Each structure stands twice: as C-alpha cells, then as structure tokens.
Structure 1
Amino acid sequence: SGFLGFVALNSEFPQVNPAGSVLLPLLTGLFGAPVLLISAFSNSSNIPRQERRLAFPSVFAALKGSIAGFFVSIFPGISSGVATVVSSIGERSDRGYIVTMSSANTANAILCFFMLIAAGRTRSGASDALKSLNLVPSFQEIAILSIFSGIVAFLLTIFFGLLIAEKIEKIDGRKLSLSVLVFLTAIVLLLTGLQGLAILLSAIPIGLSTHFLGVRRINCMGCLMVPVMIWYTG
C-alpha cells in the first residue's frame, strides 16, 4: 500500500473535476470496495433482526475517541482509523467500540477543517476538496456548522435508526453491497476519470489481501504514511 500510495500521489493526476482527488480512488480501493466485495460474496450477507432500544453512550468511550481524533488530526498521514484502533484498546463491548469509533471520526472530521484554516494543511478528503475549490471557511463558520450539523445528525440518526431497524432485515445484503460498489465506482470514474479508475482497481487487491492474510486493514494507511515519511525525510 505504501508503494501504491507513493506512485499515486506523485503521478500527474488529471483535473477531471474540481472536486476530484487522488485520495478518492486510493482510499476507496483500499478500504471501501474490499469490504463491499467481501460482504457481497460471503455466506452471511443477510442482515440479522435488529433490537430497537435507546441508550445513552458511554461518556468515557466518547471521550477516548474524541481525544484520539484530536491528536490524529494534527499529524500528517494518520487517519481516524488509527484513532479508532488506539482508543478502542481495552474496549470489550460492541457498543463501546461503536461509540469510540464514532467520536473519533467526528472529532477528526471537524478538527481537520481547523487544521486547514490554522495551518493550511489538509488532513482529510473533505478539507482537501474545499481547498482545491478555494472554499476555506472561517473558524466561526466551522464552529456554527459543526454544532448545527451535530444536532441535526443526532435527531436524524434516532429517527431513521428506529424507522429502518424494522425493515432492514428484509433488505438483501448482497444486492445492497453490490449496488454501493457500483455507485462508488461511478463516482470515482466521474470525478477522477480513467486514471482514478486504474488506481481504484490497483488498490482493491491490496485491500482484499488484509482479509485473507488475517491482518488489520489499518495497515493500508501505509498508502499515506510512507509517502509522507519520504517527503519529510527528503
């Protein structure tokens, strides 16, 4: 993954669409597409019956994830996936892991925009897209939008979660996974062109290898960490 990331990030990437970035096909191929392929062709692709129950998340788990998300947003080449792995150490329950992962992703997503404003550095695909479009928001705008979107997302999650929990078990998991995979491939082709599609197809076998070798998929973050270390060491 490190070699692929180095080649992809140092290649002349055509500007097919202003919102397109080499990170889109690279990360989609390493993380998104392999999960969808495994889910689509596994024997347990059907979604089990869901239990509907409201419960407050663990404050300690949320705090761990938020702190980890804060630190990884500062350092280059480290994603929220690393924050999830670090903050979930010692976490035994599935609920606690979900809380930790969600808080780490949320903190990282928000703080990446603050890094863009403060240092002009992009730490996520979203911040990179805004920078490429010359739409860098202010601190006040990020703070207001973060609070507003957080409240809206909280309410919508509860509403749609309870609504979908009744019907999700009837959905064919295999068809759903394949549909999402086709959608992601179309997005990659639309935003990054044929070169982006080639990067996507090159990254998928590497992402799949983590499943068959029994290693954590977080190792694929070498696609960013290796190029960053090479650049910073000259």
Structure 2
Amino acid sequence: MTIVYVVLSTVVGTFFASLLACVPSLHIYNVMGLLVMLGHALISQGIELQPEIVIPFAASLMVGYAMLNTLPSVLLAAPDESAMFTVLPGQKFLMQGRGYEAVIMTTVGGMIGLMALLFIVAPLAPRLLPLFGRVFRGHTHWILWTVIAFMLMSEWPKGGRLGRSGWAKFIDSWKTTGAGLLTFLLSGLLGFVLIFRTPIAADVAFQNLMPAFVGLFAVPWLVLNIATNVTVPEQTMEIETHLRLDDILRGGFAGTLGGGFAAYFPVVTGGVGGLLAGHATALRNDRVFLVSQGASKLVYYVGGLMLFFVPGVHLKRGGGAALMRSIMTPRTDYEYYLMLAAMAGAGVISILLVSPLTRGMLWLIGKVGYRRLSSLALLLIVGLVVGITGLTGLAVMAVGTGIGLMPVLYGSRRMNCLGVIMLPMACNMSGIGPTVAGWLGLL
C-alpha cells in the first residue's frame, strides 16, 4: 500500500503543480503555504500526516513548478524571481515565432539540472555538506555582500552618445545604471518595511513578501503588454535550432553551478545564481543561456528542498524547506530516498507535460490575443493578492509595481528588484539590520 501512496502523491502533485505553474505569478511557495495551513488543521484534528504522502507530494510540487513555470515567463513575460533572465531571450524567440523552441530549450536545462541533483549531488551531499558547513560558517554575510556588489557593478553604464558637454554625456551614460541602483535601494527600503513593520495582517504573515514580489516582477511587464498592445506573430511548433551536445553541457554546467550556489546560500535566488554562473563560464549565445537558466531554477527550487532531507544535515534553505519544517522533521535515510524517488518520477511526468501545455498556451494566446490574455492575467494576479493578503497587500503590490516599472522603462536589470530581500537580509546577517531599521524609524 505504501508504494501506491507514493505513486499517487507524486502523480497528483506533479499535475497540480504543472497546471498552477501556467498561472502568471502564482508562486509555488504561496500554494505550499496554504497547503501547510491545511496540514496544521488536519494535525489539530488528530490526523497524522504520513511521510509517504507528504514528502512525494511536496517534491513533485517543486519539480513540476520548476519545470513548467517557464511558460508564463517566456510566453507572457510574467516571471518569478528565479526566472527573470529568461524573459528577454524568451521574448526574442517569441517575437520571432519560436516561443515553443525557447520553452523546450529551457526544459532541456531543467532535465540536466534534475539529473545533476539525482546522480551527482544526492550521493555526495551527505559527505560534503558537513564540510561546507564548517568552511562557510561565519562567512555567509560577507559572501552575500560580495554577490550584491558584483550584481550592481556588473551592469555597465550604457549610452554616453548624446549631449555636447561632458556632463550631458555622463548623465546619458549613467541614466540606465542609476535607475538600476535606485531600484535596488528603493526595493531594499520596501523590504525593510515588510520585515520590521509589516502592514500585512498577522494571520497571513507567511505570505508577507508575496504582494511585493508580484508587484516588482510580474505586474510591470503585464502592464507594458497591455499599454503597448503587442502583437505576437504566428508560432511554429518545430524546433529550428538543434542544440549541440557542447551547448547542452555548457549551459547545464553553468546553470547547475549557479542554481547550486543559490540553493545553498541563504537569500541568493536562482536568477542571481544563473547570472554568476553565466559570467563565470562566459555564456554568450541565447541557446546556451536558456539551457543554463532552466537548469539554474530547477536546481535552486528542488535542490533547496532536497537539502532539508539530507541525512545528518537537514539544511533549511528556501521557502519550501521552511514550510516543510513546520509540519515534519526528517529523521532517517528513508525520507531522503523517498524524496529522491519522487523527484525522479515527477521529473519524467513534468517533462511529458511540457509540450502539450506549451501548445495549449500558444493556442490560447492566438485565440484570445496577447493584450486580452495579459489583461486577464493581471486581473487574476490582483484577485489573488487581494484574496490572500487583503487591500493592504494590494497597496504593497502597487508600491512594488511602481518600483518594478523603473527597470522596464529605463532598460536596467530587473534583478535589481531583488533588493527587497537581499538588502535587509544582508544587513540582518551582518548584525546591523535592527540598527538600520531604527534609523529608518521602523522600530
């Protein structure tokens, strides 16, 4: 009977997550948070949660989402914080009539990332993670500051071709970079407010950052789609570009490296990990880039949850592990192997679902229209935010949207919006968070 529970939980979780991943800006952590609330309600009624149900279901949710959330990122330009870099290359392919191809290339990266987790990371993790813990203990704060510095400094000034005087050219060249720096600081200020004096009601505090992330990352591009009335060309369902083995290996290696870094170090997301790995491995073409981003976000999401089940370590990285910790604590190797088996099964199912779901979404875009579909997605997002966090959450989303529009309008990196979590957490990890919050009048 145990194997039946495991298989059913894996299948149901994968299908459920795959469908939810197609909804723009519906993050898997929001869904898991609601499911954890349901789990606590069952526990309070004396119903025991069986690991053969909970672990495969959680693993398949994460795998299905990580594989399929490429669809709204590429086809509707509504990414989460780990998929923001797939938007521009994905949009380029979409406007060339090759959106299906972009999704498939990103999925190939996800396959590589999943295989790396199962066949390389999983056997080595119980031996290497304790060593990593001893090496990096006490150093994570300055590593995070280094990541922030690289993220901001690597966005080189653009322009500088307008104006006769030196100052005019200087202002023109630094306009984009300045907008990026301002975006990081403003989003960081928003993060301080949400962490130290949140306006979100206490009963939904686990969704504290949800409206901010939706406003920062999803709403701006949907608003731009509606305002500009983008016309999407007819899409071909054939793959014109054949990935070479070296493209797959380079992209998969870079993405796994970046996603692994993001999964292990607190606060760093898959998008940032992908950026670091891309620079480290000198990725240049869009094909390799999409493969790397697919691998990065899968390793980031699934790897973060997998680390929680590593025997003798049980690292709590990412929202998935934090939510799982509230309803169960892994104690044996059995739970680790259960997690790995569910990951493998969910990976196979989600890969089979990519093609039909992509074709279905492209058909829907052609039938309904890009502008109308973006409007429906925006209404859905607003409804979700209001339904979960109320009108206060809607106000937070509006503030986040104002900040998130700056990179869209000035052409700077949307990744700078991650200041909402990176800046306050870097300050907290350095021991100066409360001091800065006091300066801001938040205590």
Query: Normalization by structure 1: what TM-score?
Result: 0.85
Amino acid at match of 1:106: L
1:110 aligns with 2:302: yes
Shift of residue 106, structure 1, vs aligned partner: 0.5
Q: Deviations over 1:47-103 (max 9, x none)?
A: 222222255572321221112101111112211111222233443333322211111
Question: Alignment partner for residue 2 of structure 1, among 176, 181, 188?
Answer: 188
Question: Alignment partner for residue 218 of structure 1, among 398, 407, 415?
Answer: 415
> C-alpha separation between the residues in 2 aligned to 1:130 and 1:185?
27
> C-alpha separation between the residues in 1 aligned to 2:219 and 2:325?
26
Q: Which has the larger radius of gyration?
A: 2
Q: Deviations over 1:176-231 (max 9, x none)?
A: 11211211222122222233222211111111111122210111111111111111
Shift of residue 37, structure 1, vs aligned partner: 1.2
Which structure 2 residues correspond to residues 174-213 of structure 1 after superposition, within 5 A?
174-213=371-410
Q: Compare relative contact order (CA 8 Å, sep 6+) and give the higher one, 1 or 2.
A: 1
Amino acid at match of 1:208: L
Shift of residue 152, structure 1, vs aligned partner: 0.9
What residue in structure 2 maps to residue 14 of structure 1?
A: 201
Tell me, yes or no, if the aligned pair for 2:307 and 2:315 is still in contact at 8 Å. Answer: yes
1:158 aligns with 2:355: yes
> C-alpha separation between the residues in 1 aligned to 2:329 and 2:398?
32
What residue in structure 2 maps to residue 82 of structure 1?
A: 272
> C-alpha separation between the residues in 1 aligned to 2:358 and 2:315?
37
Q: Which runs of 5+ in 1 are unaligned?
A: none
> C-alpha separation between the residues in 1 aligned to 2:271 and 2:213?
12
Shift of residue 233, structure 1, vs aligned partner: 1.5
Distance 1:60 1:15, change over 3 A: same
SS at match of 1:76: coil
What residue in structure 1 maps to residue 210 of structure 2?
A: 24
What residue in structure 1 maps to residue 342 of structure 2?
A: 145
Distance 1:23 1:122, change over 3 A: farther
1:101 aligns with 2:298: no
Amino acid at match of 1:48: P
SS at match of 1:78: coil
Distance 1:74 1:120, change over 3 A: closer
SS at match of 1:204: helix
SS at match of 2:210: helix
Question: Alignment partner for residue 50 of structure 1, among 230, 235, 239?
Answer: 235
Shift of residue 164, structure 1, vs aligned partner: 5.0
Tell me, yes or no, if the aligned pair for 2:404 and 2:414 is still in contact at 8 Å. Answer: yes
Tell me, yes or no, if the aligned pair for 2:234 and 2:366 is still in contact at 8 Å. Answer: yes
SS at match of 2:201: coil
> C-alpha separation between the residues in 1 aligned to 2:398 and 2:317?
25
What residue in structure 1 maps to residue 284 of structure 2?
A: 92
Q: Which runs of 5+ in 2 are unaligned?
A: 1-186, 432-443
What residue in structure 2 maps to residue 123 of structure 1?
A: 318
> C-alpha separation between the residues in 1 aligned to 2:412 and 2:251?
24
Distance 1:167 1:205, change over 3 A: closer
Query: Normalization by structure 2: what TM-score?
Result: 0.47
Q: Deviations over 1:1-30 (max 9, x none)?
A: 111011112224424458x51121121111
Q: Identity over aligned residues, as a percent?
A: 25
Amino acid at match of 2:302: I
1:36 aligns with 2:228: no
> C-alpha separation between the residues in 2 aligned to 1:11 and 1:201?
18
Shift of residue 128, structure 1, vs aligned partner: 4.2
Distance 1:165 1:187, change over 3 A: closer
Tell me, yes or no, if the aligned pair for 2:254 and 2:274 is still in contact at 8 Å. Answer: no
Distance 1:15 1:61, change over 3 A: same
Distance 1:8 1:221, change over 3 A: same
> C-alpha separation between the residues in 2 aligned to 1:22 and 1:224?
11
Tell me, yes or no, if the aligned pair for 2:211 and 2:393 is still in contact at 8 Å. Answer: yes
SS at match of 1:41: helix
SS at match of 1:58: helix
Tell me, yes or no, if the aligned pair for 2:250 and 2:288 is still in contact at 8 Å. Answer: no
Tell me, yes or no, if the aligned pair for 2:270 and 2:297 is still in contact at 8 Å. Answer: yes
Shift of residue 159, structure 1, vs aligned partner: 3.0
